Amino acid sequence: MELGLKGKVVVITGGTAGIGAACAIGFCREGAAVAVCGRTQKRIEAFNQECHAAGVTVFAAQADAGNIEELQRFADEVLGQYGHIDIWINNAGINIGKKLMDITLSDWEKMVRVNLTGVLFGTQIAARAMGEKGGVILNASSYASLVPSVGGTMYGATKAAVTNMTKTMAAELAPQHIRVNAYVPGVIDTPMNADRIAADITGSLIDAIALHRVGSPEEMAKVLIFLASDAASYITGTTIEVSGGKYAVQNSNVLWK
């Protein structure tokens, strides 16, 4: 299948680890030019080593996706480097796990700043850069937007908002020939989930998944690459769940015993 990604310029926020890093490498292998941003120089250096090992080159810059000035500066750097932006992935996100009565205003503001403000204004920045020639914007939602967890009030709320915003964004940007979709990862083996997966000594995480295993960042990347490609030209305003069939039924684990 011809994906039509050769020569495209792809921007990924929070692209130095996990799903973002896998996407960066995957897009490069499809012939795209890729730029990522990360919050710390340490992450960028580790990412550069990962890219070197994979035999690809990615433009990486330090920027906080929740800081609009830094995000705009990063976009300007990408435009200066490549001249245009075709695909923008609002992948950056944070999770501060706290029960309802322990949440502080500072916690809430941090979560909203990255998970919502970064997506909203990242989309604005991307759409302005794309202009009337069109493009693709992908937003990171979460399974928590469908089924939240105790201690995840803020995370679930911000990710549900991303899913909702994606629909409006898709409609408003359609006249510019810009498609906008969101993606819902299930339990993916990323640094954000590492402690959670390691602590699952009872196997409850796996028991809830029809495929009975966690997903890999590379599996997520393949879906995002498809959504960004010409092969998905009639898909917009929707949210794609990539969870291995998590909670597809209430008792999928019985077949694995």
Using DSSP's 3-state secondary structure scheme, residue 170 falls into helix
Structure confidence at residue 255 (pLDDT): 87
Which position among 82, 155, 183, 234 bears the catalytic label?
155
- Domain architecture of the chain: domains with CATH: 9-187+216-244 (3.40.50.720)
Question: Residue 158 above 90 pLDDT?
Answer: yes
pLDDT tens per residue, range 96-144? 999 999 999 999 999 999 999 999 999 999 999 999 999 999 999 999 9
59-62/9-13 β-pairing: unpaired
Please enumerate in sequence order all residues whose Cβ is within 8 A of that of 154, keeping only pairs 6 or more positions apart, or say none: 96, 98, 103, 107, 108, 111, 112
**Which tokens hold the place of 111?**
């979560």
Structure confidence at residue 253 (pLDDT): 87
178-185/135-140 β-pairing: parallel
Give the dihedral sign, CA 55/59/62/64.
Answer: negative
Question: Residue 60 above 90 pLDDT?
Answer: yes
How far is Cα 10 from Cα 136, in angstroms, rounded to an integer? 9
Using DSSP's 3-state secondary structure scheme, residue 213 falls into coil
Return mean pLDDT, the chain.
Answer: 95
Predicted structure pTM score: 0.95
pLDDT tens per residue, range 171-200? 999 999 999 999 999 999 988 888 888 887
- The answer to whether the CB of 205 falls within 8 A of the CB of 149 is no
The residue assigned the tokens 């769940």 is: 241
Structure confidence at residue 229 (pLDDT): 98
Query: How distant, in Å, are the alpha carbons of 43, 81, 123, 135, 170 from that of 127?
Result: 27, 18, 6, 8, 11
Query: How distant, in Å, are the alpha carbons of 32, 77, 160, 200 from that of 195?
Result: 33, 35, 23, 9
What whole-number percentage of the chain has pLDDT above 70?
Answer: 100
Assign 157 a pLDDT band (cuts: 50, 70, 90): very high
- 82 catalytic residue (yes or no): no
pLDDT tens per residue, range 221-231? 999 999 999 99
Beta strands in 26-113 (DSSP E): 33-38, 59-62, 87-90
How far is Cα 15 from Cα 21, in angstroms, rounded to an integer? 5
Assign 61 a pLDDT band (cuts: 50, 70, 90): very high
Question: Residue 201 above 90 pLDDT?
Answer: no
Work out the average pLDDT over 6-25: 97
Question: Residue 202 above 80 pLDDT?
Answer: no
How far is Cα 210 from Cα 253, in angstroms, rounded to an integer? 7
What whole-number percentage of the chain has pLDDT above 90?
Answer: 90
Q: Which amino acid, one-letter code, is at 75? A: A
